[in-house]
Amino acid sequence: MAEKAVLTVGDQRYELPVLEGTEGERAIDITRLRDDTGLLTYDPALGNTAVCKSAITFIDGDKGILRYRGIPIEQFASRPNFVEVAWMLIFGRLPRQEELNRFSDLLTCNELLHEGVGYQFQHLPPGAPPMAILSATLSNLACYHPTFLAIEGEESLEEAAARLISKVRTIAAFSYRRALGLPFNYPDPRLRYCANFLHMMFSIPYQQYIVTPEVEDALNLVFILHGDHEQNCSTSTARVVGSAKANLFASCAAAVCALWGPLHGGANVEVMEMLKRIHKGGLSPEDCIREAKDKTNPFRLYGFGHRVYRNYDPRAKILHEACDRVFTQLKRKDPLLDIARKLEELALSDPYFIDRKLYPNVDFYSGILLRAIGIPTDMFTVCFAIGRLPGWIAQWKEQHDDPTSKICRPRQVYTGPNETDYLPMEKR
């Protein structure tokens, strides 16, 4: 017999169905709660609330497990191919060779921006935050691709996804070039996804940037590890916006804004600032840990802690190993990596972090790897966004394809004044 949860309020007893996911996660279904009981549930940061059923990503936060479409994240680390993972996240299975070729071709033929979009960059002040540019320009794509304001069917979704996933790196690279007052590099159709992005970022007139296989693999890996992470803040934003039947461009642009926050994707920038501050001698690793534990200080140990993981974030583990590997391959050293290791060691032996189960998250080592690739700090969160875009699209598609999907409209517990009269100005 199907399991039920029992809720007793006063002398009333209500039975609530219990749902079970494919990995045994159980959830009390309260969809009829208000109609049947008049009651709401209160869960302000949604820490205990499943807002959807999803078949894209599985996380076991206690065990430190992350899987995309059932495949453990570690299996994507040995031969990383971001485009393959992107397609798989969106369409639910690994692509066959011809499907991957078709999608890669679609990316290539959509890599240019309409010249009108390019002109908009000219009117931005130098030093404009690249995340602001990214969000605004993704939203602007709706003006240039009106066919995709209403997406019906897999083919149309694939076309729209290819436009977004391809153009996002052109927009990102243009925003970087604009900030430095450098000419834009048009995408090169002969290059693969990551190499093309690095070319647009770093080639200069008469001097083509040549990517090494180590660097190309490292960037592929960074993008893949950020690919999806179930109902995180930016993805939930994409879903909330999409739930109103807003278009894919608008939903992804909104997700970029959420990602920008320092508690979410912006944490990779905060980690780098923290490591640099320690390196310059402004703060010792011990002081940094002390400040992070001080409840009167808003500072946090950035790159540590997670709403879902109560164990080592598997992405941080892969990135830490990748840092060691890439620095050896490139025959380089970075003092910030040593500082990060020291901070990790101090935190993981400190009762404050042990008791609260705070471990390194994806943002702790990603910046060091991006720095080794040559990416400047203010582009870190943009790189997170490029990686996460397939995840937002996959989640938007899943919601869009679900005939039972409804507009997201949470309730509240009102705590304001009871009914009161309007006072004319002279009586206030």
What are the catalytic residues? 306, 363
SS percent in the chain: helix, strand, coil, step 5: 55, 5, 40
Q: Residues 302, 380, 392, 396: which binds ligand CMC (CB under 6 A)?
A: 302
Using Cβ positions, the residue closest to ligand CMC within the complex turns out to be 305
CB of 271 to ligand CMC, least distance (A): 7
Binding of residue 258 to ligand CMC (CB under 6 A): no
Taking the CA of residue 169 as centre, how many other CA atoms within 13 Å lie in the half-sphere pointing to its CB?
A: 31
CB of 275 to ligand CMC, least distance (A): 13
CB of 50 to ligand CMC, least distance (A): 16
CB of 265 to ligand CMC, least distance (A): 5
Ordered DSSP codes for 93-150: SPPPHHHHHHHHHHHHHT-SPPHHHHHHHHTSPTT--HHHHHHHHHHHHHHH-GGGGS
Closest alpha carbon to 235 in 206, 211, 262, 258: 258
Binding of residue 193 to ligand CMC (CB under 6 A): no
Q: Residues 111, 158, 217, 363: which binds ligand CMC (CB under 6 A)?
A: 363
Q: Residues 67, 102, 290, 300: which binds ligand CMC (CB under 6 A)?
A: 300
Q: Which is nearer to ligand CMC, 101 or 284 (CB)?
A: 284
Binding of residue 301 to ligand CMC (CB under 6 A): yes
Q: Are 247 and 142 in contact (CB under 8 A)?
A: yes
The CA distance from 360 to 348, in Å, is 9
Binding of residue 46 to ligand CMC (CB under 6 A): no
Give the tokens for residue 141: 């794509």
CB of 236 to ligand CMC, least distance (A): 11
Q: Which stretch binds ligand CMC (CB under 6 A): 33-41, 245-253, 257-265, 395-403?
A: 257-265
Binding of residue 292 to ligand CMC (CB under 6 A): yes
Q: Are 368 and 340 in contact (CB under 8 A)?
A: yes
Binding of residue 260 to ligand CMC (CB under 6 A): no
The CA distance from 214 to 331, in Å, is 11
Q: Which is nearer to ligand CMC, 80 or 266 (CB)?
A: 266
Q: Which is nearer to ligand CMC, 162 or 358 (CB)?
A: 358
CB of 363 to ligand CMC, least distance (A): 5
CB of 183 to ligand CMC, least distance (A): 33
Binding of residue 265 to ligand CMC (CB under 6 A): yes
Burial of 271-307, coded b for 16+ CB within 10 Å and e otherwise, reads: bbebbeebeeeebebeebbbebbeeeeeebbbbbbbe
- Separation of CA 278 from chain center: 27
Q: Are 330 and 214 in contact (CB under 8 A)?
A: yes
Closest alpha carbon to 382 in 103, 146, 230, 173: 173
Q: Which is nearer to ligand CMC, 110 or 232 (CB)?
A: 232
Binding of residue 367 to ligand CMC (CB under 6 A): no
Q: Which is nearer to ligand CMC, 242 or 303 (CB)?
A: 303
Burial class for 75, CB neighbours closer than 10 Å (0-12, 13-18, 19+): exposed
Binding of residue 305 to ligand CMC (CB under 6 A): yes
Binding of residue 356 to ligand CMC (CB under 6 A): yes
Q: Which is nearer to ligand CMC, 9 or 263 (CB)?
A: 263
Q: What is the bridge-based pairing of β-strands 57-60 and 65-68? A: antiparallel
Could you tell me how many residues of this chain bind ligand CMC (CB under 6 A)?
19
Taking the CA of residue 90 as centre, how many other CA atoms within 13 Å lie in the half-sphere pointing to its CB?
A: 29
Q: Residues 358, 370, 379, 385: which binds ligand CMC (CB under 6 A)?
A: 358
End-to-end CA distance of the chain: 63
Q: Which is nearer to ligand CMC, 248 or 267 (CB)?
A: 267
Q: Residues 81, 110, 232, 236: which binds ligand CMC (CB under 6 A)?
A: 232
The DSSP letter of residue 185 is P
Give the tokens for residue 228: 């999806």
List contacts with ligand CMC (CB under 6 A).
232, 263-265, 267, 292, 300-307, 356, 358, 361-363
